[in-house]
Amino acid sequence: MDAKPANYSRILIATDDSDCSKKALRHGHNLAKMMESSVALIHVIEPTAPTNYGADPLMGQQPIIIPETTEIQEENSKTLLDEISKQFQDVKEVFTFSRIGSPKQEILTVASEWAADLIIMGTHGRTGFDHFISGSVSESVIRRASCPVLVIPGKC
C-alpha cells in the first residue's frame, strides 16, 4: 500500500452562497494553498420555472419564462463568483464557472471538462422527508463522480 498522500492539483469547489458552502470554500482554500493547486469555483443556477402570470390556460396560452429573471440570476451568479475568487488570489490560479441547470449534473460536467482531481462541496444535512423529496446534490455527485469528493457537513 502506498503511504504517499494524494496530491490534488485541480480542485473544484461548488458554492451556492449558503453557510454550508462557505465552510466548503474555507476548506478548499486551505487545501489549495497547502497543495499549491489550481481552483475552479462553480455556482449553478437552477432553471427558472415558467410562471402562469399573464397566461390563461383556458385560452390556450402557455406559461412563460421571464428572460429578465434569468439574466438577473446570471449576473448575480457571476458577481458572487467574482467576490469569492478575490479570496483565492493566493492560490496558483482560479477559474470560475457559472452554469444554468441541475446542480448535480453541472458539477459533474464541469469536473469532467476541467479534469478536476477533487470536488469539494458543502451539504445541508437534510434528513427524513425533506431529503426524500429534494434528494441530496452531494450524494448524487459522490455516486457519479470520477474523482474523490470531499463533503463538508453544515454542522461542522
pLDDT at 130: 45
pLDDT at 132: 45
Using DSSP's 3-state secondary structure scheme, residue 93 falls into: strand
Mean pLDDT of the chain: 83
pLDDT in tens, 15-33: 987 888 889 999 999 999 9
* Percent of the chain residues past pLDDT 70, beyond the cut: 75
State the pLDDT confidence band at 9, using cuts at 50, 70 and 90: very high
Q: How many CB atoms lie within 10 A of CB 123?
A: 22
pLDDT in tens, 35-52: 999 999 999 998 876 555
pLDDT in tens, 53-63: 555 556 666 66
Over residues 100-124, mean pLDDT? 93
Q: Would you list the domain boundaries of the chain?
A: 12-48+67-152
Q: How many CB atoms lie within 10 A of CB 13?
A: 30
pLDDT at 28: 95
CA distances from 55 to 52, 67, 113, 140 (A): 5, 15, 39, 36
- Chain position carrying cell 426524500: 132
Q: What is the separation, in whole angstroms, between the first and last Cα of the chain?
A: 31
CA distance 21 to 7: 23
Q: Could you tell me the pTM of the whole model?
A: 0.81
Residue 64 β-bridge partners:
51
What one-character DSSP code corresponds to residue 58? Answer: G
Q: Which CATH class is domain 12-48+67-152?
A: alpha beta
pLDDT at 79: 94
Q: CB of 120 within 8 A of CB of 11?
A: yes
Over residues 119-148, mean pLDDT? 74
State the pLDDT confidence band at 155, using cuts at 50, 70 and 90: low
